[in-house]
Structure 1
């Protein structure tokens, strides 16, 4: 049989330091668990958005590749009317090499701006840690 033991507040007494410390520790543990859940949800949400965007980019890239393939073929055949076919192919290839180099550089520059850490959660954790150090401020 379990006996019911009223809390000090129910008995009209002030809680002891140990009981207060226990409550604070429990609250801090709950707070940190919630922060971890927030970080997990934030990362999952961003990963889902990135995955969908990547799929769309992939489809657009393939369609663009097909367009450019046939456009390049048309350019080679058009240039072959005024010069040797080998030189025409080399010119179109050189143009595509320049385009590839420019796109690579732009993509590399943009990739450097991507931040993999959950910014909101980091800020929130910093605020929580500061409050835990100085709860009266």
Structure 2
């Protein structure tokens, strides 16, 4: 920028510095809005996949419950060959309660270790944009 440009408040392209700052501010605002839209789209896509996966797990769980009910009935019937029906049912019920407790403790541990989903593409894009802005500012 020449001394005359500096005194007159004009940038190197002959535009007033205030106008250049306003343009930069507008471009940064637009860039931020675009990045937020990208993050929202990415989170929506991940949410849909999570929902479908959850539905499939739910269906698998339902079929597994039916299979376990059949297995419990089979175990009780097998034990009745050597024990009275009430004792067979009581033993199988106790084993089921112990299994439920072990699964609950394992589930609690897993939930405690869970981390929320992160919009990785949007974060990487923002980092690249900020590096570009810094690079242009230093020119």
TM-score (norm 2): 0.76
CA RMSD of aligned residues (A): 3.0
Secondary structure, aligned partner of 1:39: helix
Residue 81 of structure 1 corresponds to 81
- Cα 1:74–1:21 change in 2 (3 A) is same
| Ranges in structure 1 where 5+ consecutive residues have no aligned partner | 1-7
d(CA) in 1 for partners of 2:132, 2:26? 16
Residue 113 of structure 1 corresponds to 113
Q: Deviations over 1:30-66 (max 9, x none)?
A: 1110111111111111110110011101110010000
TM-score (norm 1): 0.77
Pick which of 97-106 and 33-42 moved more.
97-106
Pick which of 103-112 and 122-131 moved more.
122-131
Contact map agreement 1:76 1:89 (CA 8 A) in 2: yes
Q: Which structure has more RCO (C-alpha within 8 Å, separation ≥ 6)?
A: 2
| Ranges in structure 2 where 5+ consecutive residues have no aligned partner | 1-9
